[in-house]
Amino acid sequence: MRFTPIIGTLSYVWDQETDQVLLIRRNARLDDDHYGKVNGLGGKVEIDEDVARSARRELHEEANIEPISMMLRGTITFTDFGPNREQWLIFIFVVTAWHGEMTMANNEGELEWVDRVDLLAACHDGPEAIRLPMWPGDRHFIPLVFDDDDRVFYGTMPYDADTPVSWDYERL
């Protein structure tokens, strides 16, 4: 079967001075498939848009910021993801410099700064996982976004609706 994904971007804005990461708490719409979860900022790539331009547009739309320093950290293919069992190809960026008057809410939810150590702790069972609920698969790749390995990771994560079935990645 041919893989015909929705292409998307996901950006983690990291203030290295405070060691905090900007997340969105998806709490604005009850009909949101991501309702109740925290995530980086991002969305679907639009027609005639490359992935970097899409990430910049999403950051502007969701937080009113323009990235100055943005690095690709990895790509992931998700299959049978979420309640609609969609196929996704996601490009994951980390943003370490930006400008603009940041907004702290949008039509998808509230933005909040989270200590990076707390975000990484939420990737394991415990109190931070309850305070920062995320898609279960995010626990696998978020540590790769913030580790010291400069190589891009390339991952695949089949889902069964809301549950990841497996996780595999390589770095080149």
Task: Give the list of residues 6+ apart from residue 119 with CB closer than 8 angstroms, or none.
Answer: 21, 23, 128, 132, 142, 146
What per-residue confidence (pLDDT) applies to 96?
98
Which of 67, 74, 66, 117 minimizes the C-alpha distance to 95? 67
Task: Give the list of residues 6+ apart from residue 104 with CB closer than 8 angstroms, or none.
Answer: 110, 111, 112
What per-residue confidence (pLDDT) applies to 59?
98
pLDDT confidence of 87, banded at 50, 70, 90?
A: very high
Q: Which stretches of the chain are DSSP H helices?
A: 51-63, 116-121, 127-131, 138-145
Q: Distance of alpha carbon 86 from its chain centroid, rounded?
A: 16
The whole-number average pLDDT for the span 103-108 is 93
122-139 pLDDT, tens digit per residue, is 999 888 888 999 999 999
Q: What are the structure tokens assigned to 72, written together?
A: 């690709």
Q: What are the structure tokens assigned to 62, written together?
A: 């969701």
Assign domain 6-171 to a CATH class: alpha beta
How crowded is residue 38: how many other Cβ atoms within 10 Å of its Cβ? 23
pTM of the model: 0.95
